Copies of this chain bind each other. A is one copy, B any other.
Amino acid sequence: MDGRRARGEKKRRAIVEATLRVIERDGVAGVTHRSVAREAGVPTTAPTYYFATLDDLLIATLVQAAEETCEEMLGTVARGGTAREIAAMLAKAVNENRGRTLAEYELYLLAGRRPELRAAARRWLDLAVEAMRPADPVAFRALLAAVDGLLIQGLIADVAPNEDELEPIVSFLICGRDDSTAPARGQ
Protein backbone atom coordinates (compact mmCIF):
# COMPACT_ATOMS: atom_id res chain seq x y z
CA MET A 1 0.00 0.00 0.00
CA ASP A 2 1.00 3.57 -0.53
CA GLY A 3 1.19 5.33 2.81
CA ARG A 4 1.14 8.67 1.08
CA ARG A 5 -2.20 7.99 -0.53
CA ALA A 6 -3.61 6.69 2.73
CA ARG A 7 -2.70 9.86 4.57
CA GLY A 8 -4.01 11.82 1.62
CA GLU A 9 -7.39 10.15 1.85
CA LYS A 10 -7.46 10.88 5.55
CA LYS A 11 -6.72 14.51 4.94
CA ARG A 12 -9.31 14.62 2.24
CA ARG A 13 -11.90 13.34 4.66
CA ALA A 14 -10.75 15.83 7.28
CA ILE A 15 -11.30 18.63 4.78
CA VAL A 16 -14.81 17.42 4.02
CA GLU A 17 -15.58 17.21 7.73
CA ALA A 18 -14.23 20.70 8.29
CA THR A 19 -16.37 21.93 5.42
CA LEU A 20 -19.46 20.42 7.00
CA ARG A 21 -18.64 22.17 10.27
CA VAL A 22 -18.32 25.47 8.41
CA ILE A 23 -21.66 24.93 6.67
CA GLU A 24 -23.34 24.04 9.95
CA ARG A 25 -21.95 27.16 11.56
CA ASP A 26 -22.11 29.77 8.78
CA GLY A 27 -24.05 28.17 5.95
CA VAL A 28 -22.95 27.52 2.39
CA ALA A 29 -22.16 31.23 2.07
CA GLY A 30 -19.37 30.83 4.63
CA VAL A 31 -17.53 28.18 2.67
CA THR A 32 -14.31 29.45 1.12
CA HIS A 33 -11.01 27.75 0.52
CA ARG A 34 -9.54 29.77 3.31
CA SER A 35 -12.29 29.27 5.87
CA VAL A 36 -12.30 25.54 5.28
CA ALA A 37 -8.52 25.35 5.45
CA ARG A 38 -8.51 27.32 8.70
CA GLU A 39 -11.17 25.04 10.18
CA ALA A 40 -9.27 21.93 9.14
CA GLY A 41 -5.90 23.27 10.20
CA VAL A 42 -4.36 22.85 6.76
CA PRO A 43 -2.79 25.36 4.38
CA THR A 44 -4.99 27.37 2.04
CA THR A 45 -4.09 25.33 -0.99
CA ALA A 46 -4.92 21.94 0.50
CA PRO A 47 -8.60 21.99 -0.49
CA THR A 48 -7.68 22.86 -4.07
CA TYR A 49 -5.32 19.94 -4.18
CA TYR A 50 -8.01 17.43 -3.28
CA PHE A 51 -10.95 19.08 -5.03
CA ALA A 52 -10.71 20.54 -8.48
CA THR A 53 -12.99 23.41 -7.56
CA LEU A 54 -14.71 24.89 -4.52
CA ASP A 55 -18.00 23.74 -5.93
CA ASP A 56 -16.81 20.15 -5.99
CA LEU A 57 -15.90 20.37 -2.33
CA LEU A 58 -19.23 21.93 -1.45
CA ILE A 59 -21.21 19.33 -3.33
CA ALA A 60 -19.16 16.41 -2.02
CA THR A 61 -19.74 17.64 1.51
CA LEU A 62 -23.48 18.19 1.21
CA VAL A 63 -24.02 14.88 -0.55
CA GLN A 64 -22.05 13.01 2.09
CA ALA A 65 -23.96 14.73 4.88
CA ALA A 66 -27.23 13.79 3.21
CA GLU A 67 -26.20 10.16 2.88
CA GLU A 68 -25.24 10.02 6.52
CA THR A 69 -28.60 11.36 7.58
CA CYS A 70 -30.31 9.01 5.17
CA GLU A 71 -29.68 5.94 7.27
CA GLU A 72 -30.96 7.50 10.47
CA MET A 73 -34.09 8.72 8.72
CA LEU A 74 -34.78 5.36 7.16
CA GLY A 75 -34.14 3.54 10.39
CA THR A 76 -37.12 5.21 12.00
CA VAL A 77 -39.41 6.63 9.34
CA ALA A 78 -39.34 3.93 6.73
CA ARG A 79 -39.16 0.80 8.86
CA GLY A 80 -42.61 1.48 10.28
CA GLY A 81 -41.43 3.24 13.40
CA THR A 82 -43.95 4.35 15.97
CA ALA A 83 -45.18 7.94 16.05
CA ARG A 84 -43.15 8.55 19.16
CA GLU A 85 -39.96 7.24 17.58
CA ILE A 86 -40.45 9.46 14.56
CA ALA A 87 -41.32 12.45 16.73
CA ALA A 88 -38.19 11.86 18.78
CA MET A 89 -36.06 11.81 15.67
CA LEU A 90 -37.61 15.04 14.39
CA ALA A 91 -37.13 16.75 17.75
CA LYS A 92 -33.49 15.72 17.75
CA ALA A 93 -33.04 17.07 14.23
CA VAL A 94 -34.26 20.56 15.15
CA ASN A 95 -32.49 20.73 18.50
CA GLU A 96 -29.27 18.77 19.01
CA ASN A 97 -28.69 18.37 15.28
CA ARG A 98 -29.92 21.81 14.32
CA GLY A 99 -26.85 22.79 12.33
CA ARG A 100 -26.84 19.53 10.47
CA THR A 101 -30.50 19.86 9.58
CA LEU A 102 -29.91 23.38 8.31
CA ALA A 103 -27.11 22.01 6.14
CA GLU A 104 -29.51 19.41 4.82
CA TYR A 105 -31.87 22.11 3.62
CA GLU A 106 -29.04 24.12 2.09
CA LEU A 107 -28.57 21.06 -0.08
CA TYR A 108 -32.27 21.06 -0.93
CA LEU A 109 -32.07 24.67 -2.02
CA LEU A 110 -28.94 24.11 -4.05
CA ALA A 111 -30.62 21.11 -5.65
CA GLY A 112 -33.53 23.35 -6.57
CA ARG A 113 -31.18 25.26 -8.84
CA ARG A 114 -28.85 22.46 -9.95
CA PRO A 115 -30.43 19.36 -11.44
CA GLU A 116 -27.32 17.24 -10.88
CA LEU A 117 -27.82 17.50 -7.12
CA ARG A 118 -31.44 16.46 -7.10
CA ALA A 119 -30.89 12.72 -6.86
CA ALA A 120 -28.74 13.21 -3.77
CA ALA A 121 -31.22 15.56 -2.14
CA ARG A 122 -34.13 13.24 -2.87
CA ARG A 123 -32.37 10.08 -1.87
CA TRP A 124 -34.04 9.61 1.50
CA LEU A 125 -37.44 10.07 -0.10
CA ASP A 126 -36.77 7.52 -2.80
CA LEU A 127 -35.32 5.04 -0.33
CA ALA A 128 -38.25 5.48 2.04
CA VAL A 129 -40.77 4.74 -0.68
CA GLU A 130 -38.77 1.77 -1.91
CA ALA A 131 -38.21 0.34 1.57
CA MET A 132 -41.81 0.72 2.67
CA ARG A 133 -43.91 -0.14 -0.34
CA PRO A 134 -46.79 1.34 1.60
CA ALA A 135 -50.31 0.06 1.20
CA ASP A 136 -51.57 3.62 0.97
CA PRO A 137 -49.05 5.60 -1.10
CA VAL A 138 -51.01 8.81 -0.77
CA ALA A 139 -50.96 8.72 3.03
CA PHE A 140 -47.27 7.86 2.95
CA ARG A 141 -46.41 10.75 0.67
CA ALA A 142 -48.35 13.03 2.97
CA LEU A 143 -46.28 11.77 5.86
CA LEU A 144 -43.01 12.33 4.01
CA ALA A 145 -44.05 15.84 3.05
CA ALA A 146 -45.07 16.60 6.60
CA VAL A 147 -41.72 15.38 7.89
CA ASP A 148 -39.94 17.92 5.70
CA GLY A 149 -42.43 20.60 6.67
CA LEU A 150 -42.18 19.93 10.39
CA LEU A 151 -38.40 20.04 10.20
CA ILE A 152 -38.15 23.26 8.24
CA GLN A 153 -40.83 24.92 10.34
CA GLY A 154 -39.06 23.71 13.45
CA LEU A 155 -35.94 25.48 12.24
CA ILE A 156 -37.66 28.87 12.03
CA ALA A 157 -39.61 28.62 15.27
CA ASP A 158 -38.62 30.95 18.08
CA VAL A 159 -38.21 27.87 20.23
CA ALA A 160 -37.82 24.57 18.44
CA PRO A 161 -40.55 22.02 19.14
CA ASN A 162 -39.84 19.04 21.36
CA GLU A 163 -40.84 15.40 21.09
CA ASP A 164 -44.09 15.85 23.00
CA GLU A 165 -45.29 18.64 20.74
CA LEU A 166 -44.47 16.76 17.56
CA GLU A 167 -45.83 13.40 18.57
CA PRO A 168 -49.58 14.12 18.14
CA ILE A 169 -49.01 15.52 14.66
CA VAL A 170 -46.97 12.53 13.57
CA SER A 171 -49.53 10.27 15.15
CA PHE A 172 -52.31 11.93 13.20
CA LEU A 173 -50.40 11.41 9.97
CA ILE A 174 -49.58 7.78 10.65
CA CYS A 175 -53.11 6.70 11.57
CA GLY A 176 -54.96 7.99 8.54
CA ARG A 177 -58.73 7.87 8.45
CA ASP A 178 -58.51 4.16 7.66
CA ASP A 179 -56.04 2.32 9.84
CA SER A 180 -55.85 -0.71 7.57
CA THR A 181 -54.29 1.33 4.78
CA ALA A 182 -52.00 3.35 7.00
CA PRO A 183 -48.30 2.85 6.34
CA ALA A 184 -47.53 2.19 9.99
CA ARG A 185 -49.21 2.05 13.34
CA GLY A 186 -48.58 4.73 15.97
CA GLN A 187 -48.42 3.88 19.68
Tell me whether A138 is interfacial, beta carbon within 8 Å: yes
Contacting pair A145 B169 (CB below 8 A): yes
The total of chain A residues at the interface (CB under 8 A) is: 41
Which residues in B have their C-beta under 8 angstroms from that of A113? 27, 102
Which residues in B have their C-beta under 8 angstroms from that of A144? 149, 153
The stretch among A4-12, A43-51, A115-123 that forms the contact with chain B is A115-123
Contacting pair A145 B156 (CB below 8 A): no
A8 to B: closest C-beta gap in Å: 30
Q: How far is the CA of A169 from the CA of B142 in the complex (A)?
A: 6
Contacting pair A115 B158 (CB below 8 A): yes
The stretch among A13-21, A72-80, A171-179 that forms the contact with chain B is A171-179
Q: How far is the CA of A87 from the CA of B32 in the complex (A)?
A: 40
Tell me whether A111 is interfacial, beta carbon within 8 Å: yes
Contacting pair A155 B112 (CB below 8 A): yes
Q: How far is the CA of A155 from the CA of B112 in the complex (A)?
A: 5
State the majority secondary structure of interface residues on A. helix
Tell me whether A29 is interfacial, beta carbon within 8 Å: yes
Contact with B along A165-187 (1 / 0, CB 8 A): 00011001101111000000000
Given B111, B148, B157, B178, which contacts A149 in the complex, CB threshold below 8 Å? B148
- The answer to whether residues A145 and B138 also contact, given A109-B102, A109-B105 and a CB cut-off of 8 A, is no
Contacting pair A108 B145 (CB below 8 A): no
Q: How far is the CA of A97 from the CA of B106 in the complex (A)?
A: 20
List 28 A–B pairs whose Cβ atoms lie within 8 Å, in order of A's numbering. A27-B113, A28-B29, A105-B105, A105-B108, A106-B109, A108-B152, A108-B156, A111-B156, A118-B157, A122-B153, A122-B156, A122-B157, A125-B153, A138-B168, A142-B172, A142-B173, A144-B149, A145-B149, A145-B150, A145-B153, A145-B169, A146-B149, A147-B149, A148-B152, A149-B152, A152-B152, A176-B176, A177-B178
